[in-house]
């Protein structure tokens, strides 16, 4: 059974940092692009960051560019999201995602996602 389990969320003050992790089991994802999405209350789920299977290509939504860093460790079948300079508008449930489609940026699109994690809550508030 394939599972993606996120961890590392929490309640932090504006300007703080968090590092999210996603541990995959049941299947090796080292050949596929992976990414992070988020969903705030009352809003649609949105793309946050993507990384190609070999970590050569990364992409970010504009609002997190320069503050968030996506990375992966294929040996551990794991995905990470380093979040710095957090803002209240970053508050959301963050989801790990995998796309088995060809291409480093296929994982940016909701309709291309084949596997989702259960999510981890990130709350940024003073």
Which tens digits make up the pLDDT trace of 111-126? 999 999 999 999 999 9
Which tens digits make up the pLDDT trace of 7-30? 999 999 999 999 999 999 988 899
95, 20 in Cβ contact below 8 A? Answer: no
Return the closest-CA partner of residue 27 out of 100, 119, 112, 105: 100
Element (H, E) at 120: strand 120-124
3-state secondary structure of 56: coil
Residue 101 neighbours by CB under 8 Å, 6+ apart: 33, 107, 112, 114
| Spatial separation of the C-alpha atoms in residues 61 and 54, rounded to whole Å | 20
Backbone angles phi, psi at 51, to 5 degrees: -145, 135
What token pair was written down for 53? 């299977």
Which tens digits make up the pLDDT trace of 50-86? 999 999 999 999 999 999 999 999 999 999 999 999 9
Q: What is the pLDDT of residue 79?
A: 97
Structure confidence at residue 2 as a pLDDT band (50, 70, 90): confident
| Spatial separation of the C-alpha atoms in residues 32 and 48, rounded to whole Å | 17
């Amino acid at each position: 059974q394939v599972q993606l389990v996120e961890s590392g969320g929490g309640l932090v003050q504006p300007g703080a940092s968090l590092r999210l992790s996603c541990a995959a089991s049941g299947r090796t994802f080292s050949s596929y692009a992976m990414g992070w999405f988020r969903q705030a209350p009352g809003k649609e789920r949105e793309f946050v960051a993507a990384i190609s299977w070999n970590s050569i290509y990364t992409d970010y939504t504009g609002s997190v560019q320069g503050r968030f860093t996506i990375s992966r460790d294929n040996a551990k079948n794991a995905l990470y999201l380093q979040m710095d300079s957090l803002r209240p508008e970053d508050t959301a449930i963050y989801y790990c995602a995998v796309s088995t489609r060809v291409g480093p940026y296929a994982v940016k699109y909701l309709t291309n996602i084949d596997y989702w994690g259960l999510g981890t809550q990130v709350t940024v508030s003073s």
